[in-house]
Amino acid sequence: MSANVTVRSDGRGAEVVLGSGGSANALGHEDWRALELAFRNLPNDVRVVVVRGSGSTFSAGSDLREWVHAAPDDVDRAFAAMEAACTAIEECPTPVIAQVNGVAAGAGCQLALACDLRVFADDARIGMPIARLGILVSPAFAARLALLAGHGLARELLYTGRLLTAAEAVAAGLANRRVPSSELAAATAELVAAVAAQPRAALVAAKQAVSVGLSPTRAAADSFASGPAVSYEDFQRGVTAFLSRSRHP
């Protein structure tokens, strides 16, 4: 297990914690692989899983420092690891709840959208500011956004990179509820208790039943011929510029 992916289980519930509070809980290649394995290997008696970031933010996505001068094949493998982790969350047999504070951006947005339910702090923001980095959004990434927010808003967010506020996220269907930041943990715990009170078999059946309705879109995205994950020269320029701004705000 990666040091940036921590799993805790108390029988009926499990909690997956992202990062250690630094670097906005951005995840590296090995962290995404660890996240996938965490969801593939959850105990069979778990009824609900919470995903949250360590400290004051959910996740800013992938750790761009890994990608400076990375070979194209390495970048493609990193994106495949992200997608595998998100798919593992979607295929987890029991409900998964994202507890979102701070920022859920890029792959962090995808991670939150792969969960079944999302509880937002009122100061949280979510979106896909990836086009400026030369990232060629995959059908699977686009589908998660479009299934919840609709095609029009999904296009706007992907084209512009705009981040939605918590209030906008609720209105768009990207969040189930928003609460004051000081009440986020308690509100999530209340939802966890309501879910965990149901028989596990009924929860598994409910998740499967909803997933059947989503499967045509997901299957279409999966069948799309995969190409490169990024426009490589644009990507290297974008990553370098982003990291330079981060060091010298």
Tens digit of pLDDT at every position of the chain (249 positions): 688 999 999 878 999 999 999 999 999 999 999 999 999 999 999 999 999 999 999 999 999 899 888 888 998 999 999 999 999 999 999 999 999 999 999 999 999 999 999 999 999 999 999 999 999 999 899 999 999 999 999 999 999 999 999 999 999 999 999 999 999 999 999 999 999 999 999 999 999 999 998 887 777 777 675 778 888 788 899 888 888 776 645
CB 119 within 8 A of CB 176: yes
Nearest by Cα to 238 from 161, 154, 155: 161
pTM given for the model: 0.93
> What phi and psi values does residue 169 have, to the nearest 5 degrees?
-65, -40
The answer to whether 196 and 12 have CB atoms below 8 angstroms apart is yes
Chain center to CA of 180: 21
Q: Which residues contact 189 (CB under 8 A, 6 or more apart)?
A: none
> In 93-225, which residue ranges form alpha helices assigned H by DSSP?
107-114, 139-149, 151-160, 166-172, 184-196, 200-223
Beta strands (DSSP E) in 29-129 are 48-53, 96-100, 103-105, 117-121, 125-127
